[in-house]
Amino acid sequence: MLVWGGAVLTLLGLVALFWCIVTVFRLRRAAPEPEEFRARMQRVVAVNTGALMLSAIGLMCVVLGIILG
């Protein structure tokens, strides 16, 4: 259970990271005003940080499940 749960957490984190990448590319292409760009990028950075933490926790669960299994 720990391995599969960790794999799901890792995949969710990777999906969120992919969303961040796509959002930044779209934002750069749209070229909004600097204030709007900064506000949107702050949101993306927050999601990116959360996604990285989620992926790391998921990978830790996978490794722990393998060691204990």
* Beta carbons within 8 Å of 13's beta carbon, 6+ residues apart: 51, 52, 53, 54, 55, 56, 58
Interval 36-58: pLDDT, tens: 889 889 999 999 999 999 999 99
Residue 62: predicted pLDDT: 95
Interval 3-43: pLDDT, tens: 999 999 999 999 999 999 999 999 988 878 888 889 889 99
Residue 63: predicted pLDDT: 95
Residue 48: predicted pLDDT: 96
Residue 69: predicted pLDDT: 85
Closest CA to 37 of 54, 18, 23: 23
